Structure 1
């Protein structure tokens, strides 16, 4: 009895863990966002070949964030990170109007994967400080987010 009560209480009040996959096209700002979340500051980054992984603590949740490179040659490897992923952070360069349709294709391809059917989606509309940046509403439209009827999703405009 004592063990089950303690297990129940730790489930309610204990530390929770979440596995997050952060992807997006190359140069969208994924690694910058990861280290801003982890360290609270902007760090100089280089293009990610492979992945970065960090644990970020927030309140009683421990997020393990996998930041995977976005170059076109690396994108087919994203699927190797899908298993047990509970949340997806899809980072979009809000200023990159030329590749927003490419970002949409990659996002839709990924969301069609069965392993990600229950994953929450957070779209980071990054680089909002640039003069020609698309706002969150425009990115929502161009990515077709309103068509995601069976998925919980959010969009967050941000500057990194």
Structure 2
């Protein structure tokens, strides 16, 4: 008895896997977003230098864009699922997921830089921010590319 998937089953599985992956990223960006929002309502926030408040704002905006990109595929599915557009949704959702985690990495790097600036300031804070950015880029985007040459896996 053959256990091969039909194209429709494969598409449904791929979409289900994508939504599961997005749930992980969405939880992370939502927790980060809540933290960043809370910071703006502390007494010490107004006393911070303009540059630090702008870094905070940019980081909030990065988290906002990430959230929008990561949530969009689920919304698209809800809006378009009865139109038989799952292939189109999956293709675009994959791109949005990658962009979404890219913006999440930038928001997390901004958060690390923000905290490092408050904790130690100056060049050390910048080095910490750069190390965070390199870590995300390496773990999330460089390492997976090293596996591109492995053709033994299933999709």
More helix by share: 2
More strand by share: 1
TM-score by length of 2: 0.29
Tell which structure's C-alpha radius of gyration is larger. Answer: 2
TM-score by length of 1: 0.28
